[in-house]
Structure 1
Amino acid sequence: MVETKVQPKKKADGFDSRIGFILACVGSAVGMGNLWRFPVLVSAWGGMTFLIPYFIFVIIVARLGVTEEIALGRSTGKGPIGAFGKATEHAGKGSRLGENIGVIPCIGSLALAIGYSCVVGWIFKYVYLAFTGQLFAMGTDMEQIGGMFGGTASAFGNNLWIVIALAVNFAIMALGVAGGIEKANKIMMPLLFVMLIGLAVYVGVQPGASDGFRYIFTVNPAGLADPKLWIFAFGQAFFSLSIAGNGTVIYGSYLGKHEDVPASAINIGIFDTVAALLAAFLIIPAMATCGEELSAGGPGLMFIYLLNVMNRMPGGMIVGIVFYVCVMFAGLSSLVNLYEAPVATLQQQFGMKRLTAVGTIAAVGIGVSIMIQGIVSEWMDAVSIYICPLGALLAGVMFFWVFGKKYALEAANEGAAKPLGDTWYIAGKYLLCGLALTALIAGAILGGIG
């Protein structure tokens, strides 16, 4: 009789450590919203006058939304399609209904990733131009600086760098969750925070920087009565923490059952907020050193106005190199998360191997992102205004309403040192879902709030 050896079951790919998971989630949250939108909002709405409601909403969204999406992914072991399917099956409606609904956040993640690919392609080009000195050879000639970015952001204006950026992105993803995504974020995120702190300290000692810091810590009590202030503070917190029913759910599905989900959610909120504050402490004082008013946001701030300021600053070339590397790390870590949802969908729903799934999404991402370069802004607005908050709303409904109280509390509390109770569940069911609906409606009316 021949003895048959039982092969040990292969360990499913997932995060090897809690810190790796948190850094990956922080990487997904820390992106362009932190670096080119948050400082402008702090400046436009009166420094601490904006920060007070922003801090409030970060606590709410992290405690309710981030916890919910991680718990949804971990408890089902699936991305949005599989998780939503299990929810409707749990409710006796069959899995097909939930799976069909789960397609919405998956499409949103892929569409946002494609638009974001163009932005990360710009960043890779500017990192190269920074290291070669070409960015700083333009001095303070705004016509040259603006022309450089205008040519880069035009239709088919940055094909090579999009391909290079996505080659790096998908190479990380091809190595797997633990071997690629976790390891990359363990390198990029600590370096990002160290470099942002270093830049903020250097800029902070420059003449005139104190005016920027003074403004950041200014409170205008009358300004707190403006409803729009609260809407935009909420929008910034909501979108910054990547609540969209896709990436956080996927990362949650890779998390071990023994991990403390509520504590992890709070840590993600803290690190994301620190990154945003460091960006504000860097950019607002930097503009103040040159007597410039921080009024422009988005790509114009990152690739035109800040470059002009750095070229007028002592040691500006070094500042510029470090700054654009920081931006590259922030953009790349977010891009990996956005593409992970469609990659995981192909693995989980169609049984594809990791490399096949990554290659398939890479072909789509590269092809479409090159084609849409001339309409990136419109593309990103459509996705972020409508699909992202809708995905967040659907995830909240599936977790709190469809799965129900018993399932939700058990899923969130497994491994938790301080279990959540009825108050958290009620707040999630009504407040979080109401906020997600508000984000959808307010964004449609105001043309975007995050």
Structure 2
Amino acid sequence: MKKRESFNNQWGFILACIGSAVGMGNIWMFPTRVSMYGGGAYLLLYIIFVALIGFTGVIGEMSLGRAAKSGPIDAFGLACESKGKRKLGEILGLIPVLGSLAMAIGYTVVMGWILKYMIGSFTGSTLSPQDTADFAGKFGNMASSFGNNLWQFFALAAGIGILMFGVGRGIEKANKIMMPVFFVLFIILGIYVFFQPGSADGYKYIFTIDTQYLFSPKTWVYALGQAFFSLSVAGSGTLIYGSYLSDNEDIPKAAGRVALFDTIAAMLAALVIIPAMATTGARLNQGGPGLLFIYLPALFKSMPGGYIIAVIFFIAVFLAGLSSLINLYEAPVATIQEKFKLNRKISCSVIAVFALIVSLCIQGIVSEWMDVLSIYICPLGAGLAGIMFFWVLGKKYVENQVNLGHTNKFTDKFYPVCKYIYCPVCILVLILGIVFGGIG
């Protein structure tokens, strides 16, 4: 039997998981929510929820993946096999796999936009519009149906190209380069913004706790949503990366580092973007693609050395996005590879052809596409993974798996917290997403 691929060392695995977690949510959503929901108050709640989900859901999905040595289909099948219902588990395992593929397809569209703006930051076209209205018009044309075909193709090719090299030579090596470079580039941006007149107001807002926001339900809801989606608990990406781990790896320690660096990435984005907006006297109240492709380019154009700042910024954003893209595609690629006994390159090619066709067709509706996935499929996948591991497989199995490679026995509180708090939180995120029209 062919030996299963694996990460070469724990830091390679950790950097890959950090790469999967660090994405557009950190860059175009976190700073906006910090700005809109009370600065330090929102930040405090966000950190609490990151700690909760990082030390429950992230550990759980990594451990379930390692136990199954496979993706969600076989992992869910393994869980249900203990109840004599393996086929049911495998069918349920299709939900996070298909969700991951659908999310990757939507993300491919966004990555095409980012790649175009990154290249344009070198040529000057990214900052060529004259005012905010012109930037909005440029983005609208690009984000329309079939408005960015070529760059979208190249973005997909970059992600699939890395995946073709496999886990150790592809995913791990790419993230060992991309993640350090991402953090260095954002630190450079942070230093630049620090010396801009007026930036101090931004820092003051970020770290001031306005207690009235602690009594606002929206602050709690969006802090929970941000933490939940930022840590990539969806029953797919984190689980599949965990499946490549050896029994000697310390999963609780790895999960802690992933949560820490994901939070640092989000904070770096906030420490760049909010103070940068403060230099103009404006308050950040625009998130999503509009922030990244309209308001920030317009801001960069008005700043000293703006063209250089745009180059650094869009390179960093592209690296963050690419690391998330390869994680999203890994679950469906691995599933094709394992279920149909195809080699790595053919599996990647099959997924790439399908993804290219669908992603080109959804360019004009990608926002609605991603909303459906984030509201329904991601929390459903996370909830199913949690139920399979913590409810179906049970306490003894969970504790044995989590303690593999861990120096001392992990806390006795882990299992009850996961079973009775984390799993209901997944259901809560699903309900809140439906009520609020998305909280991720």
- TM-score of the alignment, normalized to the shorter chain, above 0.5: yes
Q: How does 1:301-320 map to 2 (within 5 A)?
A: 301-320=291-310
CA deviation string 1:166-199 (max 9, x = no partner): 1111000000010000000000000000000110
Q: For 1:136, what is the secondary structure of its paired residue? A: coil
- Alpha-carbon RMSD: 1.0
Displacement, 1:77? Answer: 0.3
Displacement, 1:10? Answer: 5.5
**Matched residue, 2:137:** 147
Q: How does 1:43-442 map to 2 (within 5 A)?
A: 43-91=35-83, 93-139=84-130, 141-442=131-432
AA partner of residue 78 (structure 1): S
* Cα distance in structure 1, aligned partners of 2:40 and 2:97: 36
AA partner of residue 378 (structure 1): E
AA partner of residue 245 (structure 2): L
Q: Which moved more, 1:272-281 or 1:210-219?
A: 210-219
* Cα distance in structure 2, aligned partners of 1:362 and 1:324: 24
Displacement, 1:138? Answer: 2.5
**Matched residue, 1:26:** 18
AA partner of residue 28 (structure 2): W
Query: How many equivalent residue pairs?
Result: 440
* Cα distance in structure 2, aligned partners of 1:273 and 1:166: 27
CA deviation string 1:332-385 (max 9, x = no partner): 000000000100111122212111110000011111000000000000000110
Displacement, 1:394? Answer: 0.1
Q: For 2:431, what is the secondary structure of its paired residue? A: helix
Q: For 1:321, what is the secondary structure of its paired residue? A: helix
Displacement, 1:242? Answer: 0.2
Displacement, 1:403? Answer: 0.6
Distance 1:256 1:449, change over 3 A: same
* Cα distance in structure 1, aligned partners of 2:128 and 2:102: 36
CA deviation string 1:74-111 (max 9, x = no partner): 011011000000100023x2311100010011111011
CA deviation string 1:288-340 (max 9, x = no partner): 11122211100000000000110010111110000000100011000000000
TM-score (norm 2): 0.99
- Is the 1:82–1:349 Cα contact (8 Å) retained in structure 2? no
* Cα distance in structure 2, aligned partners of 1:227 and 1:420: 33
Displacement, 1:418? Answer: 3.2
- Is the 1:81–1:102 Cα contact (8 Å) retained in structure 2? yes
* Cα distance in structure 2, aligned partners of 1:312 and 1:377: 29
Q: For 2:358, what is the secondary structure of its paired residue? A: helix
- Is the 1:68–1:399 Cα contact (8 Å) retained in structure 2? yes
**Matched residue, 1:5:** none
- Is the 1:109–1:339 Cα contact (8 Å) retained in structure 2? yes
Q: Which moved more, 1:9-18 or 1:374-383?
A: 9-18
* Cα distance in structure 2, aligned partners of 1:105 and 1:10: 26
Q: For 1:230, what is the secondary structure of its paired residue? A: helix
* Cα distance in structure 2, aligned partners of 1:200 and 1:72: 38
Displacement, 1:143? Answer: 2.5
- Is the 1:409–1:421 Cα contact (8 Å) retained in structure 2? no
AA partner of residue 384 (structure 2): L
* Cα distance in structure 1, aligned partners of 2:407 and 2:137: 55
* Cα distance in structure 2, aligned partners of 1:289 and 1:321: 20
- Is the 1:138–1:145 Cα contact (8 Å) retained in structure 2? yes
AA partner of residue 321 (structure 2): G
AA partner of residue 30 (structure 2): F
Displacement, 1:11? Answer: 4.1
User: How many percent of aligned residue pairs carry the same amino acid?
Assistant: 54
AA partner of residue 363 (structure 1): V
AA partner of residue 304 (structure 2): P
AA partner of residue 251 (structure 2): V
Q: Provide runs of 4+ in structure 1 moved above 4 Å.
A: none
* Cα distance in structure 2, aligned partners of 1:337 and 1:166: 13
- Is the 1:193–1:275 Cα contact (8 Å) retained in structure 2? yes
CA deviation string 1:256-287 (max 9, x = no partner): 11000000001000000000000000000011
Q: Which moved more, 1:260-269 or 1:412-421?
A: 412-421
Q: For 1:422, what is the secondary structure of its paired residue? A: coil
**Matched residue, 2:34:** 42
Q: For 2:413, what is the secondary structure of its paired residue? A: helix
Displacement, 1:421? Answer: 3.7
* Cα distance in structure 1, aligned partners of 2:246 and 2:70: 13
